[in-house]
Amino acid sequence: MEYFVQQLINGVTLGSIYGLIAIGYTMVYGIIGMINFAHGDIFMVGAFIALILFIALLSIGLTFVPLALLIVLIITMVFTSIWGWTVERVAYRPLRESFRLAPLITAIGMSIVLQNFVQIAQGARVKPLQSLITGGHVLMEKDGFTVTLSNMQILIVVTTVTLMVAFSLIIARTSLGRAQRACEQDRVMASLLGVNVDRTISLTFVMGAALAAVAGIMYLLYYGVIDFYIGFIAGIKAFTAAVLGGIGSLPGAMLGGMVIGLIEVFWSAYFTIEYKDVAAFSMLALVLIFLPSGLLGRPEVEKV
């Protein structure tokens, strides 16, 4: 029982990171109907920006962790959002009215560009960071096995839930959210009614990139090592989570992230770690066979 509880905690933590990235996928798809396959690499760029900032702050003697974390969070979100805006402006906006495969190919190209840029700029070796948030709480102990909930895990889960609620409220109750929902239903009609479609789409990319930046910081602090390839792996898992939960639904993206994280952790704990990805993608296939719209998605209605 103790081992199960510990793996449950680990799975929820990993799923929270996937969920944060998945929200960015589902926001972009919900508005412009395109998958931003460069989003995982935006997450990776955010992790590297955070690493550089942490090292710089520690080198000048700033060791007060809450202040350092706040500074890194703000600066990383700003710079990563600029990256997200640039990707939309350069790679997506010119092809928005093109045939549907063109933006997809461009997204893959942007992903490769970001990967190689970071590899050249930072090197191919893994980059470590010393543990900054330590300590935790002992929940259970039996026969020498201790179930612990670390402060870092609490921070990840609380941050993820808070951001999901905040962004859900933004979309549901603000003028920007109304503009986003209008663009989701009909971009042409929204523009005729005075909605600035270009600005709305750009802000959606910025919001998704900001969430990816937070996920990158959480990943860096939790695992302590990053490399230029983490964006591809995490991006594929987060995209799977978004589809599993119902792409276009923010709670669905979070639920999908939790499911993928739990499957990975429990499969690695009780079976063989080599096939954890097979288990996750098999679950996706099963859900889509019986629930084509995902767990919380809504069927698309064809407009005629």
Compute how many other C-beta atoms are within 10 angstroms of the C-beta atom of residue 33.
Answer: 15
The predicted structure's pLDDT at residue 301:
55
The predicted structure's pLDDT at residue 183:
86
The predicted structure's pLDDT at residue 154:
93
295 found inside a domain? no
| Residue-number span of the structural domain to which 195 is assigned | 20-228
Q: Is 189 exposed, middle or buried (0-12, 13-18, 19+ CB in 10 A)?
A: exposed
118 found inside a domain? yes
The predicted structure's pLDDT at residue 252:
87
pTM of the model: 0.91
The predicted structure's pLDDT at residue 48:
95
103 found inside a domain? yes
Q: Which residues contact 181 (CB under 8 A, 6 or more apart)?
A: 171
The predicted structure's pLDDT at residue 150:
92
* Whole-angstrom distance, CA of residue 149 vs CA of residue 140: 10
273 found inside a domain? no
The predicted structure's pLDDT at residue 300:
60
The predicted structure's pLDDT at residue 69:
93
252 found inside a domain? no
pLDDT in tens, 14-58: 999 999 999 888 888 877 777 788 899 999 999 999 999 999 999
The predicted structure's pLDDT at residue 15:
92
Ranges of residues in the chain with a pLDDT under 50 are 304
The predicted structure's pLDDT at residue 106:
86
51 found inside a domain? yes
Task: Answer whether 237's CB lies under 8 Å from 150's CB.
Answer: no
Q: How many domains does the chain have?
A: 1
287 found inside a domain? no
What are the φ and ψ backbone dihedral angles of 108, each rounded to 5 degrees?
Answer: -65, -40
275 found inside a domain? no
